[in-house]
């Protein structure tokens, strides 16, 4: 949070600084807990995508400062790809939630599985709404994937999502693992934002399900590891958006700056310099298949005329084709064969 921001008129922004929170998002978790009470009977929490740490601060208040009989078993583990400033009573891990070793680090740090997993992570938005929704859903699924390794039976899971067409699909996926799944939007979340939070209560493991963090969407070595996946997992297709999203639109037809013919400009015309200039290709094709057709068109021999018997016309065509044949090093070239082909062509 900075001293100057476009959000400085936001009451939660100001209140967060007064209350010592690192971000206004702390109130989102507080408001969600007021409704669902998922901090009740919780001793171990994993905060995924934790930076800058406001949700971890709330966890400290709920589990340590807010309890008269705070247990020594209380463990709060914060994980993020980026380095994070330390928080008292919070174990920080710099790691990737899509890697199995990160899951093991969390379990080791918490001395066992956790009771609550929270995730306020979101990708850097690109202004491509559909793509942002896709990235966020994949991040939530990655968080769910590692949650199945971390969460104890009866535990809870809370994560940020973007309200989109695939919300119902996401809810059904979560219901495979949790008995109660709801989507909520806390009052501290801006109405102009499409963000919401999926609250999943009472985790139940599936006996035949084996957590697998080798998602093809997240693999660096996709080709070598994709064959390890079986069944429906092989149907996941990697998707990547490349290039500057603020650049030109490849689907748009753009008008040229000026289409006025050169003949309409005078020699000293003031607007002549603003005329659009057509540039030749940087490198011409060496021997394209349409080479002979272009030569014939330039000579005017592809016009609709009836001059099969015109001797001059035929001689000119023979000369052009003969020269072309020589350039291609065609041996035993016969003019009679060429003339027969030309007769069939015309």
DSSP string, 27-64: HHHHHHHHHH-TTTT--EEEEET-TT-HHHHHHHIIII
- SS3 at position 154: strand
Q: What is the pLDDT of residue 207?
A: 80
What confidence tens digit (pLDDT) does each residue in 243-267 have? Answer: 455 554 555 555 655 555 555 555 5
Task: Please state the separation of Cα 123 from the chain's center in Å.
Answer: 8
Residue from 56, 210, 194 nearest 135 by CA: 194
CA angle 296, 299, 301 (to 5 degrees): 60
Does the pLDDT at position 169 exceed 60?
Answer: yes
Task: Please state the separation of Cα 5 from the chain's center in Å.
Answer: 27
Q: What is the pLDDT of residue 221?
A: 55
Residue from 147, 49, 46, 28 nearest 90 by CA: 46
Domain parsing of the chain, residue ranges = 15-235, 262-345
Least confident of 69-78, 107-116, 230-239: 230-239
Tokens describing residue 185: 């939007």
CB atoms within 10 A of CB 57: 26
Mean pLDDT calculated for residue range 203-219: 69
Least confident of 111-125, 173-187, 208-222: 208-222
Question: In degrees rounded to 5, what are phi and psi of residue 93?
Answer: -130, 130
With residue 220 as reference, give the H or E element that holds it. Answer: none
Q: What is the pLDDT of residue 10?
A: 72
List the alpha helices (DSSP H) in the chain. Answer: 11-19, 26-36, 54-60, 100-109, 129-150, 167-175, 222-225, 291-298, 311-327, 335-345
d(CA 265, CA 261): 8
Q: pLDDT category, 157, cuts 50, 70, 90? A: very high
d(CA 61, CA 58): 5
Q: Is 297 one of the annotated active-site residues of the chain? A: no
Average pLDDT across the chain, whole number: 74
Residue from 89, 169, 182 nearest 133 by CA: 169
Mean pLDDT calculated for residue range 194-201: 90
pTM over 0.95: no
Residue from 184, 176, 134 nearest 159 by CA: 184
d(CA 317, CA 339): 9
Say if domain 15-235 classifies as CATH 3.30.70.270: no
Q: Which residue among the candidates 8, 160, 175, 259 is catalytic per the annotation?
A: 160
Mean pLDDT calculated for residue range 91-97: 91
Q: What is the pLDDT of residue 237?
A: 42
């Amino acid at each position: 949070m900075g001293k100057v921001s476009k959000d400085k008129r936001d009451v939660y922004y100001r209140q967060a600084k007064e209350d010592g929170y690192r971000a206004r998002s702390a109130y989102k978790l507080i408001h969600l807990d007021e409704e669902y009470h998922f901090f009740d009977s919780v001793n171990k929490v994993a905060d995924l995508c934790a930076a800058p740490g406001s949700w971890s601060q709330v966890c400290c208040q709920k589990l340590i400062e807010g309890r008269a009989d705070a247990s020594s078993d209380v463990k709060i583990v914060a994980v993020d790809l980026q380095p994070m400033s330390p928080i008292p009573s919070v174990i920080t891990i710099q790691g990737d939630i899509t890697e199995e070793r990160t899951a093991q680090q969390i379990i080791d740090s918490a001395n066992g599985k956790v009771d609550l997993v929270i995730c306020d992570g979101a990708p850097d938005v690109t202004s491509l709404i559909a793509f942002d929704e896709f990235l966020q859903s994949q991040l939530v699924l990655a968080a769910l994937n590692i949650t199945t390794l971390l969460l104890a039976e009866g535990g809870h899971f809370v994560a940020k999502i973007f309200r989109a067409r695939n919300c119902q699909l996401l809810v059904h996926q979560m219901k495979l693992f949790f008995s109660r799944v709801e989507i909520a939007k806390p009052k501290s979340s801006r109405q102009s934002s499409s963000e919401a939070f999926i609250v999943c209560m009472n985790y139940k493991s599936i006996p035949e399900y084996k957590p697998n963090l080798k998602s093809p969407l997240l693999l660096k070595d996709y080709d070598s590891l994709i064959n390890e996946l079986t069944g429906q997992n092989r149907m996941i297709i990697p998707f990547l958006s490349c290039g500057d999203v603020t650049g030109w639109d490849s689907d748009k037809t753009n008008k040229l700056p000026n289409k006025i013919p050169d003949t309409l400009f005078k020699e000293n015309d003031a607007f002549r310099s603003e005329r659009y200039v057509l540039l030749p290709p940087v490198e011409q094709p060496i021997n394209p298949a349409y080479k002979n057709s272009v030569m014939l068109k330039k000579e005017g021999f592809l016009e609709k005329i009836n001059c099969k018997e015109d001797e001059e016309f035929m001689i000119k065509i023979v000369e052009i084709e003969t020269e072309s044949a020589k350039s291609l090093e065609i041996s035993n070239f016969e003019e009679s064969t060429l003339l027969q082909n030309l007769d069939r062509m015309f």
